[in-house]
Amino acid sequence: MDSNSFRGQPPADDTAPLIAARERLLGPANRLFYERPVHIVRGEGAHLYDADGLQYLDAYNNVVSVGHCEPRVVDAVTRQMSTLNTHTRYLHEGIVDYSARLLATLSDGRPGSPDQVMYACTGSEANDLALRVAEMYTGATGVIVTSEAYHGNTTAVTAISPSLGGAATLGSHVRVVPPPDSYRVPAAELAARFAADVAAAADDLVAAGFGVSALVLDTIFSSDGVYATPGVLGSAVAIARSHGGVFLADEVQPGFARTGDAMWGFARHGVVPDLVTMGKPMGNGMPVAAMAGRSEVIAPFATGVPYFNTFAGNAVSMAAANAVLDVIDDDGLLDNARDIGAALRGELARVDDPRIGDVRGTGLYIGVEIVSDPQARTPDRAQARRLVNALRERRVLISVCGSEGHVLKIRPPLVFSAADVDWFCSAFVDALAQ
């Protein structure tokens, strides 16, 4: 999680006073990216502009998923803000209309799909809420996650987020399993091996007295290193349920058309989740998140605990979220993610360099594994960091993920274009040459 953080002394340029003020006022926990931090002042589409007017290619941002300052989202927010903004304890059509539309995308004709939704402000809050719902439904507390998972920053979800590292510690009720690593595990063995690991973790939780409350998965394994092989989760989900647990699909990263194959990452695996969480791209930068689920799973919590979150589901956030769905539909961004993502992966796969161990992903979520020894498939954290910073100097912004911080994480807004692919690949080849 901390692999691409700014460290050391501020660079000798005009950002130094701002960096020093930030560190003094915000403290050391709030990290900046890159060896030479970027001072961004404006955005449009997939591009950013710094204080000197220089243009950057944003190949990392999943928050403004339908593009920086997308006019239809900006207009929807402005109109609603100028009319009314209030909490969910008053009647308002916006939250009802959006909820019906959102749930329709989650079901898509699949029996047993989520049919109710509860709102939050962040993905962390949504996952925190989902853990509470799962515990009351199952009567258990044990949680299974992957070894580099990240699910948020509340106390409860920090305890199930091993990628945080540092002084953060996993809860005693948490068991970690390796992700379905398509680079190191043969394709024919991925699903069975992942299911076996989940089964062992579930048995251990039961033996320890925690039981199994939830199998919690980011369905593209984004923090683990971006593992996008479809159809590998079915047996693991069945095992979690056979132990009394629920399947919680964390769609903060793969959701909202990101994968190019489906609106939601879980759909690529042919599974129907009991609970789904979402955030970040839901409002294209507005603070809105949600937990959806089957009504029978939600019922014990919903009938036993009054839930109120002041800003969750407010009228302005609902206007933004509804506009995001409009843009995805009207501009064909699911198809764009599929086609432009395939083009980008294809170009990257053609780059002949022994440091590139693997190019993988789906849609506009791509991982490039950087290795020091292609035969042994040895992660190279230092080289990955050098490449990220070399791209930054060419005004192309990405980051890293994976167990060693050695996988280049390429995750641009869904409006990425063919011209953006050309820019990215030219800069990438040049960075490798350096």
- What's residue 12's pLDDT? 66
- What's residue 165's pLDDT? 79
Within a domain: 392: yes
Of 278, 299, 330, the last residue of a domain is 330
Q: Report the mean per-residue pLDDT for the chain.
A: 94
- What's residue 133's pLDDT? 98
Of 302, 330, 358, the last residue of a domain is 330
- What's residue 167's pLDDT? 67
The domain containing residue 361 runs over which residues? Answer: 15-59+333-433
Same domain, 352 and 325: no
CATH number at residue 29: 3.90.1150.10
- What's residue 110's pLDDT? 82
Of 330, 346, 378, the last residue of a domain is 330
Same domain, 173 and 293: yes
- What's residue 57's pLDDT? 98
Same domain, 133 and 252: yes
> Could you give the number of structural domains in the chain?
2
CB-based contacts of 213: which residues, under 8 Å, 6+ apart?
Answer: 131, 134, 135, 138, 140, 141, 142, 143, 245, 246
Instruction: Spell out, as residue ranges, where the chain has pLDDT lower than 50.
Output: none
What's the pLDDT tens digit per position in 191-227?
999 999 999 999 999 999 999 999 999 999 999 999 9
CATH number at residue 195: 3.40.640.10
Q: What is the pTM of this model?
A: 0.94
CB-based contacts of 106: which residues, under 8 Å, 6+ apart?
Answer: 113, 114, 264, 276, 292
357, 374 in Cβ contact below 8 A? Answer: yes
State how far the Cα of 395 lies from the Cα of 247, in Å rounded to an integer: 40
- What's residue 423's pLDDT? 98
184, 153 in Cβ contact below 8 A? Answer: no
Query: Vertex 227, ends 367 and 410: CA angle to 5°?
Result: 20
